[in-house]
Amino acid sequence: MDRNIRTVDDVLKLLDGLFAPEADRWTAGGASWWDGFYADRSLPVPFFVPKPDENLVSYLDRGLIVPGRALDLGCGPGRNALHLASAGFAVDAVDLSPTAIAWAEERAAEAGADVRFHCGDAFDLTATELTGPYDLIHDSGCFHHLPPHRRVSYLGLLDRVLAPGGHLSLTCFAAGAMGSELPDAAFYRQSGLQGGLAYTPESLRWIFSGFTETELRRMRDEPPESPHFGELFLWTALFRRGTTASSR
C-alpha cells in the first residue's frame, strides 16, 4: 500500500508517472530521446541552423531587453545562448541532452563565446546551482514539450530565478499551425503529448497572467538566406515580471 503523497512535488511526480516512459521529454529520463534527436546533425531540422531567433534579435535591437544575466532553457545546440553572449549577456544554458550540450560547446568554442552550459533537468538545476536572479529567461521550444501539470513547475522556476522586473522570452507552438490541440485532460488518458502542445494567445495570457505582456505575435517567417531563425508555426512572447510581487 502506497500513501506517500504529501507535497505538491509528490503530486507532480505522480502525474509524471501517468505517462508512458517513451513519452517523457521533460525529465532526466527523457535525455536519451533527445540524444537520438540531436545525433544526426545533417537532418533538415529548422532549428539546427546556427541562427538566433528573429524575435530575440528584435527585442535587443529595439531595446526591450538589455544585457544582464540570462538563462536559456532547452538550449539545444546553443544558437540563442551564443547570440545572447555576443550581445553582452552572462549566459547559463541548460538542456537535458548530453549530445545537444556537446554540440553547443563546440559551437561556443568555435565562436570564442563565454557560455556556461549545464546538462540536466532545469527544474532541478534551478533549485540548486542555477539560482539566479536572471534578468532574462529565454525559452525557444521547451515550454510546449511540458505536460499540463508541469506548468506549475515552470511558474515555480520563474518565481525562483527570474529577477523582479526581469523578462521571459518564450517561443512555442501556435494553435492552428503546429502541435496538439487536445484539451489538457486528454493527455493523461492517452499517456503521450503528440509531439508537443499548441497554445492560443488567450491560453498564454492566462497561464502568464501574473506577468505584464510586452509583445505577443507570430514568429516571422525568415528566408533561408536570413541570418535569423523564424517560422510562422510559432508564437513569440515577451513577458515582464513585476518588480515586487510574485508572478503568481
Q: What is the mean pLDDT of each run of 10 residues along the chain (248 residues)?
A: 91 93 91 95 93 98 98 98 98 98 98 97 95 96 97 97 98 98 94 93 98 98 96 97 67
Spatial distance between the Cα atoms of 201 and 26, rounded to a whole number of angstroms: 23
Query: What's residue 58's pLDDT?
Result: 98
The model carries a pTM of: 0.95
DSSP string covering 81-135: HHHHHHTT-EEEEEES-HHHHHHHHHHHHHHT--EEEEES-HHHHTTTT----EE
Query: What's residue 2's pLDDT?
Result: 83
Cα 169 to Cα 208, 212, 242, distances in angstroms? 12, 12, 15
Residue ranges in the chain assigned as alpha helix (H): 8-16, 31-38, 54-61, 79-86, 98-111, 122-125, 150-161, 184-190, 201-207
